[in-house]
Amino acid sequence: MKNLKPPIWADRFLEWYCRADRLEEIQGDVYELFHRQAKTNPRLARIHFAWNVLRFFRYKNIRKYSSSHPSNSAAMFYNYLIVGFRSA
């Protein structure tokens, strides 16, 4: 029972989608719930671990990837405004 580990795929999925600044906190919470449940029912604990990983899949927790062409809508609006004044 002491060598019981949560599902690897769920843990890797959590590390893949979660922001770096929130990962340690979320992972700690999920692991704590897993070990608490594993004392009574190890099989159910693995299912709950996967469910809890999916429950933490929220917009505020998703990692943001930087694109090679960042969009700057304020600069585009300013450019459109200048072109509009020139053509009027």
pLDDT 10s digits, 2-19: 678 899 999 998 888 888
**Residue 10, both tokens:** 């769920």
pTM of the model: 0.65
User: For residue 84, what are its two tokens?
Assistant: 């509009």
Alpha helices in the chain (DSSP H): 8-17, 20-38, 42-55, 73-87
Burial class of residue 17, CB neighbours in 10 A (0-12, 13-18, 19+): middle
**Structure confidence by residue, pLDDT tens digits, 43-83:** 999 999 999 988 888 777 777 665 555 566 777 778 888 88
